[in-house]
Structure 1
Amino acid sequence: MNVKIVSDGPFGERAYETIKKKFECEYIILDTVKPASIDELAEIPKEQLEKINNSDIVITYILNPDLTLDLVEQIFGKVKYIIIGAWKGKGLKNQLESFENVVCPEIMCELEENGNPIHDEFVSKFGKPKLDIIVENDIVKKINVLRESPCGGTDFISKDLLGKNVKEIATLAGLRIQHYPCRAGRIRLFNEEESGRYKAATYHHDAFENAIKRLLVKK
């Protein structure tokens, strides 16, 4: 699978570092040409556009909403699936998701299967956290990350929770993901910062809770 991460600024580099461990991945910072007037859109260089078009999955962290929409309109019929990692406003979300191969998650660690084979292949590795744990005498000995948040936070907190008491890890996971630090609020421009962070904390807490439940069923 070929994944392109496209940004016009400070976000996307952590997703690139995480995703490239599992899929062929490239990080593209748009080298846009400034328009002649404020009424015109910045122009995306043809070389970069051609590179983006040659993708299975495109993930955008573009903060400029007009540029996001312009890019999607140019590539939606040429790439297999587009995930919008940064967007502003419900109106833009609805407009972007009117394209059948585009999704705008509230935060990237909520992604789950939706029936599209390309999207689901990606989400089998990255999205809503899922993991298994190995415990000896109530102490966590090993954590297998089955699906991790694209930012790398799941792997970060999993390493931190080794050696902890199994009864504590779900609560600790929810706290530690915010120390990564979680950027959910910063790139979810329409939302309160704490709302995005709260969701990320909840998803990681639940992932460890579910892992503990599966462990108890095995016993």
Structure 2
Amino acid sequence: MKGLLKASVILPVILALALYEWMHIKPRVDWLPSNNTNFPPCPEGKTPFLVFGGTSMLGKYIVDSFKTETKLCLINYGRSKCKRCDLNIKGDLRDSRHVERMVKAYKPETILTSVKPPLLGIHYKTFIELNMLSMIELIKIAKKQGVSNFIYVSSIAASGHYHWHHGATEEDEQPLYTEYEAPYDISKRVAEDFLLAEHEQAKFNVISIRTGGIIGGEGTV
């Protein structure tokens, strides 16, 4: 009985300490500003199509689907090299000044984002920086530089992980910002709302796609 009592007291303490330490882990994905101002040109006769997250699990399939369009110059911006893309620009989405220089250089008609940091072992700050703050800056850059189309691969998490999603439609009431329980979820929702508010028919066309559960990549849930 004493052993059980001790375990019942010690276990919550251990879990609390582990959670405290986890919440104070520094972001694993660090970055430094890039001074790069030289961007290789697209092949002649091809239209620039800029992709963020082209090497993510879902991004690879998206790139493959657009690869059939032979007139597109697929430009991947990110930390990893996209073998199926025409060009690769190494950088971090949080480096907004570098991103703007690149967008200004290529003048793409379309930007597609499929950015998803790993869900496991990541500091909550990374979700806020990548999914929300950097995405808002990217949307502002795209509109400022005359991009015509913006495709945002969002997630069902934008309406909360803890809600029933089967049969959900655009008309369904969305949670209030203060009702979200996870940083990942609210970061997706805020970026999505900002993008949709910037839509201008025939000038800045935007679309947000909420994907469901995806099995097979890092951080699969």
Please report the TM-score for the alignment, with normalisation by the length of structure 2.
Answer: 0.39
Structure with bigger RCO (C-alpha 8 Å, 6+ apart): 2
Find the structure with the greater CA-based Rg: 2
Please report the TM-score for the alignment, with normalisation by the length of structure 1.
Answer: 0.40
